[in-house]
Amino acid sequence: MNRRNRGSSSSSSRVSNTYGNRQFSDNPRTGSGGGVNESFQRRSDAPHKRNNEKDESKHKDEDPADVSFIVGTCSSMCPERERVTRERLRDLAVFERLYGNPSKSSTEIAVKKFCRTLSAADVQASDVRPLPVLEETLRYLLSLLDSKEHPFEVVHDFIFDRTRSIRQDLSIQNLANERVIYLYEEMVKFHVISHKRLQSCSGTSISSMHHLNMEQLAKTLTSLYNIYDANRKPDYIYENEAEFRSLYVLLHLNPSNGVMGEPLSLWFRKLTFALVKSKEICFVRNLLRLYRMGNYKNFLSRTASEATYLQYCISEHHIREMRLVAVQYINNVCYKLQPYPLLRLSQNLKMKELDVESLCHECGLETCTDPDGFTVLPVKQSTFRSPEDKFKVYDLIGIERIKMSI
């Protein structure tokens, strides 16, 4: 398996780190960044957040300008000393095993693991990958998404960990240019697409994996937004910024979902005027309004006709919610002596008629055939329930326009 050729990407950003004896995080903070040039930029005026009073005392007389950041020199996807150690410990993922040997790898397939507890004293320049190598590493990782040799959950688990390591190396070096923005956008795409694909997987660990993926998606989006803001020019919007900003709104349509982040009312106030008026933000604001009103017909119709692929992937759970709301409404409020035609319901829910019938059965409702041969839903059934089993995905009619766009 060969790595792809290294090359420059068209975007980039800034990430901050902790230093001294504190742990490095893969979550960058907001700060003045490197603008839009493509050189390695580092920030020496970062605010010093202390972990405890001892650390505060230790650094209170330190001049921030004296703080130096590591410049990575590792030329491969995995530092040699880590690869040798993991070979000895037989700690190699299936994608890193040379000819399937669990104790042998190579520089072409070994990828640096994420380390949860990492302090400045532990880090050497030879262990940190510079930006061109991180770009190459991410391209290699994303190429594995099309792997057919292993179940998607295995592929996801490997890429999930190794992309966290990429973010950690970016943070350690405090890089700040458009190429890093591109890396973060690609990692967000990975989490969004995984959000969709994991729903079709089975297994006892899938629920936990899906939760962790959503958690990392929220964190990566927040880091990306910090990078956008740190490199902001007056009245400037990055090429993909409005779409990636819109994903935050879709993640937080339902506050009870437990996705981390600040309330939307506060989040919207931080957007620039240009972003607020962008097509993508206007679209999700309309979806938010329709969702809260319970207007399932317009919510589904607008999603089918206007959503991008990434927006659709995030919206699938909400599409499911709105369809369940619709079935419950119709069962509760329609005239008992007038069964509801499934054909009409399928048109409102943007579903195939057979899928609507299946959804009704999931909700504990019975369907029947009227004297004219049409399938109908008798209403006022007391057996309605919200399905508690595995999330079942039904196609959204009209979304075919974007399914091959990514």
Q: In 286-380, at which residue ranges do the beta strands (DSSP E only) sit?
A: 340-341, 368-369, 375-377
Q: Please answer whether residues 263 and 279 qualify as being in contact, where contact means their C-beta atoms are separated by less than 8 angstroms.
A: no
Q: Is 20 left (phi over 0), alpha (psi -120 to 50) or beta?
A: left
Query: For 136-185, what is each residue's pLDDT tens digit?
Result: 999 999 999 988 899 999 999 999 999 999 999 999 898 878 999 999 99
- Residue 326, helix vs strand vs coil: helix
Q: What is the pLDDT of residue 49?
A: 39
How many H helices and E strands in the chain?
Answer: 14, 5
Q: Round to whole Å and give the CA distance between 184 and 11.
A: 9
- For residue 305, pLDDT beyond 90: yes
Any idea what the Cα angle at residue 94 is, between residues 220 and 128, rounded to 5°?
50
Query: For 320-330, what is each residue's pLDDT tens digit?
Result: 999 999 999 99
Q: Give the containing element (helix H, strand E) for 14.
A: strand 12-14
Q: How confident is the model at residue 69 (pLDDT cuts 50, 70, 90)?
A: confident
Q: How confident is the model at residue 54 (pLDDT cuts 50, 70, 90)?
A: very low
Residues 6+ apart with CB under 8 A from 308: 243, 280, 402, 405
Q: Round to whole Å and give the CA distance between 314 and 320.
A: 11
Q: Please answer whether residues 15 and 142 qualify as being in contact, where contact means their C-beta atoms are separated by less than 8 angstroms.
A: no
Query: For 346-399, what is each residue's pLDDT tens digit?
Result: 999 999 999 999 999 999 999 999 999 999 999 999 999 988 766 678 999 999
Q: Is 392 left (phi over 0), alpha (psi -120 to 50) or beta?
A: beta
Query: For 172-224, what is each residue's pLDDT tens digit?
Result: 898 878 999 999 999 999 999 999 888 878 776 788 898 899 999 999 999 99
Q: Please answer whether residues 175 and 8 qualify as being in contact, where contact means their C-beta atoms are separated by less than 8 angstroms.
A: no
Spatial CA neighbour of 74 closest among 115, 129, 136:
129
Spatial CA neighbour of 222 closest among 177, 172, 259, 269:
259
Cα end-to-end distance, the chain, whole Å: 24
Sign of CA dihedral 80, 82, 88, 90: negative
- For residue 31, pLDDT beyond 50: no
**With a threshold of 0.85, does the pTM exceed it?**
no
Helical ranges in 175-261 per DSSP H? 178-197, 206-230, 241-251
* Lowest mean per-residue pLDDT among 6-20, 278-292, 310-324: 6-20
Q: Give the containing element (helix H, strand E) for 134.
A: helix 131-143
